[in-house]
Amino acid sequence: MKPKYNFLNNTKYAFSGIYYMLKMESSFRIELCVIIPAFILSFFLPVSMIEHIALVAVLFVILIVECINSAIESCIDLITDKFHKQAKIAKDCASCAVFFSICLAVFIWVIILCKLILKFF
3 belongs to a structural domain: no
How wide is the angle at C-alpha 54 spanned by C-alphas 47 and 35, nearest 5°? Answer: 95
Q: How many domains are there within the chain?
A: 1
**Which residues constitute the domain of residue 100?**
24-119
34 belongs to a structural domain: yes
Q: How many CB atoms lie within 10 A of CB 63?
A: 17
- What's the pLDDT tens digit per position in 15-48? 999 999 999 999 999 999 999 999 999 999 999 9
Give backbone dihedrals phi and psi of 92, rounded to 5 degrees, phi first. Answer: -65, -40
Name residue 19's amino acid: Y
The pTM for the full model equals 0.91
10 belongs to a structural domain: no
17 belongs to a structural domain: no
CA 100 distance to own-chain centroid: 11
| Residue predicted with more confidence, 81 or 58 | 58
111 belongs to a structural domain: yes
42 belongs to a structural domain: yes
82: DSSP letter: S
CATH number of the domain encompassing residue 37: 1.10.287.3610
